[in-house]
């Protein structure tokens, strides 16, 4: 489902409205490309839903977010690998409706503690995400500064081989 809006989050003189999706698609180097809606993520078994406390040091506030580990969604889509060395050459790119993108390596998500806290979010402090974050967002909760890899208005995850 696509929604075209001119949100205050994207208000910029002269910029056209953007299309916002209420789902996130996983594409690229996966066996089973998939699309997950907010409602589908909320209905996951409780063991898959993760809560994480995030502190905004600038505002001096802490909030509790809930979502699904990106790693779990990628496992369902089944990343394509020809051999065990191929994973070293994979990037996972999370993209927002406004074109903002962040990158994770396969090793960060699947072979380090960081992967436990990279979440596709659908809730903050017991409520749906606020309008300025969109229906879904992504955050890397163990980054020292979470802002640079906080993808608001999340709509796409792409698995891409970045080297031969």
CATH number at residue 151: 3.90.420.10
pLDDT digits (tens, 9 = 90+) for 98-156: 999 999 999 999 999 999 999 999 999 999 999 999 999 999 999 988 889 999 999 99
The mean pLDDT value for 48-52 works out to: 92
Number of domains in the chain: 1
Taking 70 as the threshold, does the pLDDT of residue 11 lie above it?
no
Q: What is the pTM of this model?
A: 0.85
Domain that holds residue 19: 2-161
DSSP 68-123: EEHHHHHHHH-B--SSTTGGGGEEEEEEETTS-EEEEEHHHHHSSGGGGGEEEEEE
């Amino acid at each position: 489902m696509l929604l075209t809006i001119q949100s205050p989050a994207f208000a910029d003189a002269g910029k056209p409205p953007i299309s916002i999706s209420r789902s996130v698609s996983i594409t690229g180097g996966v066996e089973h490309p998939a699309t997950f809606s907010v409602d589908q993520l909320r209905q996951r078994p409780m063991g898959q839903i993760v809560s994480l406390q995030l502190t905004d040091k600038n505002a001096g506030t802490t909030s509790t977010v809930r979502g699904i580990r990106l790693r779990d969604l990628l496992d369902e889509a089944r990343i394509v690998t020809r051999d065990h060395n191929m994973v070293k050459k994979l990037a996972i790119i999370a993209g927002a409706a406004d074109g903002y993108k962040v990158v994770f390596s396969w090793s960060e998500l699947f072979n380090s503690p960081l992967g436990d806290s990279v979440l596709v979010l659908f809730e903050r402090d017991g409520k749906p995400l606020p309008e300025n974050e969109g229906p879904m967002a992504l955050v890397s909760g163990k980054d020292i500064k979470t802002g640079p890899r906080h993808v608001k208005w999340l709509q796409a995850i792409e698995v891409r081989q970045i080297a031969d």
